[in-house]
Every structure is written in structure tokens, then in C-alpha cells.
Amino acid sequence: MSSDDLTPEPPRLDRPSGGGPEEIPDWVRQLEREIHVGPAARLRIWFGRHARGLRLGVGAVLVLALLAYVGAAGYRYVKRPADPHRAYPTVSPPAGVQATTAASPPPAAGPFDGTPAGAFPEGAAGITLPSAKATGGFTAKQVSGTLTKIRAALVTARLDRAFMTAKDRERLVRQFAPDARRHLREDLSDVEFLTFATRLAPGARLLPDQPRVKGRITYRAARDDQGIRVLRVTTNFVWAYAFQSPRAEPGDGVVVVHDTLIWEVPHPDDVPPPNRGLWLTDIRAYTANVDCAASDKGLLDIGTARDGKPLATPMPDRA
């Protein structure tokens, strides 16, 4: 999309045969889903009299595996011997200034016990912003303002319970640039909206426990293909939600969402007012332990194994 970074590759719906740190357990393959993005989801970004393509990539619903707890804890696997083990994709840290979740996790207690998410900070404490420095024509104040806006959008999209249960998207949509809002309202289906925002299925109930969050934020200055200066911010986070559900084993009732989002904010001197603000230029998301029927509708709920019991939570890929 930019002259120095080229257009981000569209999300790949294939499954790499290797290169990931761990393989997917056999039992999770029954939960794999793909979300197909139609032409209507191709957002067009217009800066001044120049058009920029906005590609919204939606990754397949690919379950992120937990293999580290196969010992005494004893995880329940749904066996499918005929399928070969496959590696799951990871996202390499992009170049630029970045910050990784630094808050200390609370004492382990409750639904996250015995899972990797038990070591994650609670809620917004897991979203650590990098230090704001002047870069590429953007002042330190402009960088700080952009990072703060993105953090607020992430909190609304993934942690705001009022937003999760509301049918109205405006609480999140209005945080984007004016020209971006129309595309978010008109061009994104419910399924595609799920890739960067959490909305609960009817009847789904979260426990009072705050979601656990871990990830990183990276930013750098760039220019788009029209020479417009942009601040490009990459957020890569794992969000773990505790749902009301029978808990026979550690992780039962926990849903994991892992998303990687690329945000761009144009320099205010380079574009007219309607283009100033947040834009999403690439989205990739994976989920684990989800109810597939709810996911097909763009909603989130806890999944169940074939015996009707919740599945133990797999470990998300390293954010």
C-alpha cells in the first residue's frame, strides 16, 4: 500500500505446512472455519482526489494450539488420526518502535487457571503503548495521540461489554476517520466485523472475570502509493474470554481470539478533514474454542466437543 513497505499481502487462507513453533492438535480440526470475504468488503480509501485500495483480509478461523499442558493436567483431545499434523501461522514483529504487554498478571484464580491466559494481564492493563517519538514528519504529540486513539478503539472493540451485547456498531465506528465510517457501516458483513470486534451471540454469557490480554503494538512512519505521509501502527493481540460454562478441566469455557491489525493515520497536512483519523488497512484473525454456528453469524460463543462438553483452551500463538 505504501511505496516503502509495499501493499500488505492479503490474508492467506491456506495452512502452512511448517514454520510455526507448534502443531495443531488433532481435536481442534473439527473447529476450523473459513470466513470468505466478498467484493463488498473491499474498502476504498480516498485521499483528496486520489484513491487508495483498502484490502480487508480475513483469516480462516484457525484454532491456536495448547501442547504445553499435555502432562498431568490431562487435556481432552478429539482424535482424527487420518489428518496429518499441521503448523499454524505466526506473525513476525514488523520493523519500527514497538511495545509489548508489560503489566504483571494478577494472582491466578478462576476460569483461567491452568491455561496460558492465566499469566496474561487483565483487560486494558494488557495493552501497553510504546513511547511516542517524533518520526517521519509526525511530532511526538501526534504519535501519542494516534496511539491513544488506537488503544481506545481496541478497548471498545474487544473489552467493552456494552458494545459486545449491543446491535449498534456506532460506539466503535465513530472512532474512525469520517470517510472510513461509511465503508465500515456499509461494506462489512457481520462475519467480517468479527475479525476486529467482539459481539456476543444471543444467550452467551461472560463471567465477571475480566478478559485476559497479551500482545504488542508497533509503529513507524511511511508513505502511501500517492506519497501521503502516514503513521502505520500494527497491533497483535491475544484476547481470552471466560464464558459461563461447565468446567471439568482447565480452560473449559475460555474462548481465545488472536488478531493482527494494521492501522494507518494520514498526516493532517496531507489530506482533507474527512480523511483525517483512523483507518484499518489489513486485518487477520483466528479463534479457538468457538461455537462455529455463532461464528458464521459474526458472533462469539463457547464451543463444545462432540460429547457436548466444552473443549479445553488451546494456547494462543505468541503475540
Q: Bigger pLDDT: 91 or 257? A: 257
pLDDT given for residue 109 in this prediction: 54
Sequence-distant (≥ 6) Cβ neighbours of residue 105 within 8 angstroms? 118, 119, 120, 121, 122, 212
Phi and psi at 146, nearest 5°, equal -65, -45
Exposed, middle or buried, 44 (CB in 10 Å: 0-12/13-18/19+)?
A: exposed
pLDDT given for residue 91 in this prediction: 59
pLDDT given for residue 305 in this prediction: 57
pLDDT in tens, 166-175: 988 999 999 9
pLDDT given for residue 107 in this prediction: 60
pLDDT given for residue 2 in this prediction: 41
- Average pLDDT of the chain to the nearest whole number: 75
Q: State the average pLDDT over residues 115-141.
A: 97
Candidates 221, 217, 216, 215; CA nearest to 142 is: 221
Per-residue pLDDT for 213 more than 50? yes
Bridge partner list, 46: 51
Highest mean pLDDT among 26-30, 41-45, 304-308: 304-308
The x, y and z cell numbers of residue 308, run together, are: 457436548
pLDDT given for residue 192 in this prediction: 84
Sequence-distant (≥ 6) Cβ neighbours of residue 252 within 8 angstroms? 245, 246, 309, 310, 311, 312, 313
Sequence-distant (≥ 6) Cβ neighbours of residue 319 within 8 angstroms? 100, 101, 214, 215, 216, 236, 237, 238, 258
172 within 8 A of 197, measured Cβ to Cβ: yes
pLDDT given for residue 40 in this prediction: 39
Model pTM?
0.68
Q: Measure CA 138 to chain center.
A: 26
Q: Poorest-confidence range of 142-146, 268-272, 275-279, 295-299?
A: 295-299
Q: Bigger pLDDT: 30 or 318? A: 318
Per-residue pLDDT for 52 more than 80? no
243 within 8 A of 147, measured Cβ to Cβ: no
The proportion of the chain whose per-residue pLDDT surpasses 70, expressed as a percent, equals 65
Q: Bigger pLDDT: 35 or 161? A: 161
pLDDT given for residue 106 in this prediction: 63
Per-residue pLDDT for 242 more than 60? yes
